[in-house]
Amino acid sequence: MADRVLVTGGAGYIGSVVTAQLLAKGCEVIVCDNLSHGSKKAVPAGAKLIAADTADRTALDCIFQEHRIDAVMHFAAFIEAGESMQVPEKYFRNNTVNSLTLLEAMLAHKVQRLVFSSTAASSRRQKSKQRTRSV
């Protein structure tokens, strides 16, 4: 029997690519996405899309119960760095509180396998400029 994987944020760029890879490996994939930043069109054929939010514990419980989830891949985070400085509470709620709601649902349904993507942002170390001084 194939693993049943819940991919949160699966209608976004990273989530949809991971969903396609899971499907290619023979997994059954259930995508949970509130579509606030993702698109139905991004969800690969073969995956089941459930338009729900990770804040909605009742919806999560239904997903876990109905689909007998084996593992979760969590990509449902907000990543806009500039906006996160303007409205940090929005980012805290989604990226921290909603992740906790997902974890609580996983525990309640005895799902112990999780892949958590903390960010899609990347950075690189700036080369320090050599400071020279003439004497």
CB 44 within 8 A of CB 19: yes
9-13, 52-56, 70-74, 81-85: the lowest-pLDDT one: 81-85
Domain ranges of the chain: 4-116
95 vs 30: CA distance, rounded Å: 20
Q: What is the pTM of this model?
A: 0.84
Helix and strand numbers (H, E) in the chain are 5, 5
pLDDT digits (tens, 9 = 90+) for 23-78: 999 999 999 999 999 999 999 999 999 999 999 999 999 999 999 999 999 998 87
Asked whether residue 126 carries a pLDDT value surpassing 70, the answer given is no
CB-based contacts of 70, cutoff 8 Å, min separation 6: 3, 4, 5, 111, 113
Superfamily for domain range 4-116: NAD(P)-binding Rossmann-like Domain (3.40.50.720)
